């Protein structure tokens, strides 16, 4: 059984009897008669509703004093309020192109000139605003090995199989069918900001035949094939090769000429004629008309070609052939072997089958050749401060000037 709760008087009495000190609390009737209860409750009610305000500190700023802002204030002044509401800890990225932006890695070469020699803009997305870049072009006759040499210079391992090289290579199967590996102009940009340009073969009968088939249907081609004069095909090959060479003269710092035979007169005459027909793109901003370094590579050389006496004759021959040329055919970087003034930018690459301990192998020569190419002076072929993207715009104008050149058209009429 629950015991009854003692009343207030009994509780007060028990407290006093227990010897504990307590305050006297009047009874209900006494509070009502004296009005003590209302005042008591009012005081409690007033003290409970009073909030203690925090102290206010007033600081007086001195005259001409700049107050430093905290990082939070700086972020708010540089970022809009909408972006802070969505994500206050993320600063929006800049949308404009920056000079120090990370370049896009190129997985494979892209076309600068298509198979129909139309200018393509796919290379532009891989270019930056970097002014320190190098443009290296490579030309050669059909099946001379130019794409193989350029692929190894661009970074491919010399022992890599054909399918894993940077540029497409004419395999033995393509050569048996009379086809080439490169059509048009391929471009590849490496991480060290070198733009490698692989040109289609010069004076290529395979490309000339491909164009004839493309211009005619198969039935018309078979009917008109006996009527086609060899001079027309030869004219088309030469004019197209001259256009490509003149274009590369305009846009390259270095032009590599790969050949598998020494002193080819047709190739040398083509190089000289292209220089004569090159359009003058010198403007008020540029100092003079640009001409690139010409580096000749003798591919598939034999040990007998590397004899010092033979090398001296070869260097002397190229110096005489381009004596009146404005092409830069000699430099200090390629004068080490002979220590003479008659040295040209000439390199012999030993054939794979002729490698021995006496001569430097092909695999060992490629890295040294690349170092020499990168060490060549980079003469400006445009306005001061030309970047990769502005070079691309310059290349568009150069190709238009070559295609619309009156000298090129008049020379084509003379060949017919």
Cα of 34 vs its chain's centroid, Å:
97
- Decide if 225 is inside a domain: yes
- pLDDT bucket at 406, cuts 50 / 70 / 90: very high
- Residue 284 tokens, joined: 């008020």
Q: Is the per-residue pLDDT at 1 higher than 60?
A: no
- Decide if 17 is inside a domain: no
Q: What is the mean pLDDT of the chain?
A: 75
- pLDDT bucket at 259, cuts 50 / 70 / 90: very high
- Decide if 19 is inside a domain: no
- pLDDT bucket at 76, cuts 50 / 70 / 90: very low
User: Taking the model in full, what pTM does it have?
Assistant: 0.71
- Residue 267 tokens, joined: 């190739």
Domain ranges, residue 128: 112-415
**Average pLDDT of 44-67?**
53
- Helix then strand count (H, E) for the chain reads 15, 7
Distance CA(345)–CA(373), nearest Å, equals 10
Cα of 411 vs its chain's centroid, Å:
37
Please tell me which residue, 308 or 103, carries the higher pLDDT value. Answer: 308
- pLDDT bucket at 163, cuts 50 / 70 / 90: low
* Burial profile 30-54: b = 16 or more Cβ within 10 angstroms, e = fewer: ebeeeeeeeeeeeeeeeeeeeeeee
Please tell me which residue, 86 or 254, carries the higher pLDDT value. Answer: 254
Please state which of the ranges 40-54, 106-120, 283-297, 353-367 shows the lowest mean pLDDT. 40-54
Burial classification of residue 312, based on how many CB atoms lie within 10 Å of its CB (0-12 exposed, 13-18 middle, 19 or more buried): middle
Query: What pLDDT is recorded for position 195?
Result: 96
DSSP state letters, 48-72? HH---PPPP---PPPTT-PPPPPHH
Please tell me which residue, 389 or 308, carries the higher pLDDT value. Answer: 389
**Average pLDDT of 200-209?**
87
Q: Is the per-residue pLDDT at 224 higher than 60?
A: no
Do residues 195 and 135 touch, judged by C-beta distance below 8 A? yes
Residue 142 is part of a domain; what is its CATH number?
3.40.50.300
Please state which of the ranges 29-43, 167-181, 203-217 shows the lowest mean pLDDT. 29-43
* Burial profile 145-154: b = 16 or more Cβ within 10 angstroms, e = fewer: bbbbbbbbbb
- pLDDT bucket at 109, cuts 50 / 70 / 90: very high
- Decide if 195 is inside a domain: yes
- Decide if 94 is inside a domain: no
Please tell me which residue, 281 or 229, carries the higher pLDDT value. Answer: 281
Please state which of the ranges 135-144, 295-304, 392-401 shows the lowest mean pLDDT. 295-304
Q: Is the per-residue pLDDT at 209 higher than 70?
A: yes
How many structural domains is the chain composed of?
1
- Nearest Cα to Cα of residue 200 among 159, 139, 149, 243: 139
Do residues 168 and 182 touch, judged by C-beta distance below 8 A? yes
- Nearest Cα to Cα of residue 317 among 305, 300, 299: 305
Please tell me which residue, 49 or 246, carries the higher pLDDT value. Answer: 246
Q: Is the per-residue pLDDT at 88 higher than 50?
A: no
**Average pLDDT of 10-21?**
46
Helices (H), 157-280: 172-176, 205-215, 218-224, 230-251, 265-277
- pLDDT bucket at 278, cuts 50 / 70 / 90: very high
pLDDT in tens, 311-361: 888 888 888 999 899 999 988 888 755 555 667 888 888 765 555 566 778
HSE-CB of 330 using CA atoms within 13 angstroms: 19
- Decide if 303 is inside a domain: yes
Please tell me which residue, 222 or 345, carries the higher pLDDT value. Answer: 345
- pLDDT bucket at 184, cuts 50 / 70 / 90: very high
**Average pLDDT of 274-281?**
91
- Decide if 89 is inside a domain: no
Q: What DSSP element (H or E) covers 256?
A: strand 254-259
- Decide if 275 is inside a domain: yes
Distance CA(378)–CA(291), nearest Å, equals 11
Distance CA(238)–CA(244), nearest Å, equals 10
């Amino acid at each position: 059984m629950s015991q009854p709760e003692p009343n207030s008087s009994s509780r007060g009495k028990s407290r006093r009897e227990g010897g504990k000190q307590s305050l006297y609390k009047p009874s209900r009737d006494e509070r009502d008669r004296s009005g003590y209860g209302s005042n008591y409750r009012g005081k409690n009610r007033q003290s409970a509703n009073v909030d203690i305000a925090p102290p206010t500190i007033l600081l007086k700023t001195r005259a001409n004093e700049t107050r430093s802002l905290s990082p939070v204030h700086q972020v708010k002044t540089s970022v809009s309020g909408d972006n802070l509401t969505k994500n206050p800890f993320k600063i929006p990225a800049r949308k404009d192109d920056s000079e120090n932006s990370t370049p896009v890695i190129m997985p494979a070469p892209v076309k600068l000139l298509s198979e129909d020699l139309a200018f393509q803009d796919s290379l532009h997305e891989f270019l930056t605003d970097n002014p320190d870049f190098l443009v290296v072009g490579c030309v050669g006759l059909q099946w001379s090995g130019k794409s193989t040499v350029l692929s190894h210079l661009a970074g491919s391992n010399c022992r890599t199989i054909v399918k894993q090289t940077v540029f497409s290579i004419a395999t033995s199967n393509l050569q048996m069918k009379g086809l080439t590996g490169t059509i048009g102009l391929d471009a590849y940009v490496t991480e060290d900001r070198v733009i490698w340009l692989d040109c289609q073969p010069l004076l290529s009968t395979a490309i000339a035949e491909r164009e004839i088939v493309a211009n005619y249907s198969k039935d018309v081609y078979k009917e008109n094939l006996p009527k086609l004069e060899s001079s027309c095909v030869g004219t088309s090959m030469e004019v197209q090769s001259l256009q490509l060479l003149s274009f590369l003269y305009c846009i390259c710092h270095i032009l590599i000429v790969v050949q598998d035979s020494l002193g080819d007169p047709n190739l040398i005459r083509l190089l000289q004629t292209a220089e004569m027909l090159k359009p003058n793109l010198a403007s008020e901003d540029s100092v003079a008309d640009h001409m690139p370094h010409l580096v000749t590579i003798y591919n598939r050389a034999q040990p007998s070609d590397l004899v010092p006496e033979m090398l001296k004759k070869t260097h002397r021959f190229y110096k005489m052939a381009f004596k009146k040329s404005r092409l830069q055919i000699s430099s200090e970087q390629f004068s080490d072997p002979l220590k003479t003034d008659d040295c040209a930018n000439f390199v012999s690459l030993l054939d794979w089958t002729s490698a021995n301990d006496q001569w430097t192998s092909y695999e060992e020569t490629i890295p040294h050749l690349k170092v020499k190419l990168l060490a060549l002076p980079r003469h400006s072929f445009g306005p001061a401060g030309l970047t990769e993207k502005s070079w691309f715009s310059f290349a568009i104008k150069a190709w238009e000037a070559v295609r619309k050149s009156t000298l090129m058209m008049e020379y084509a009429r003379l060949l017919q």
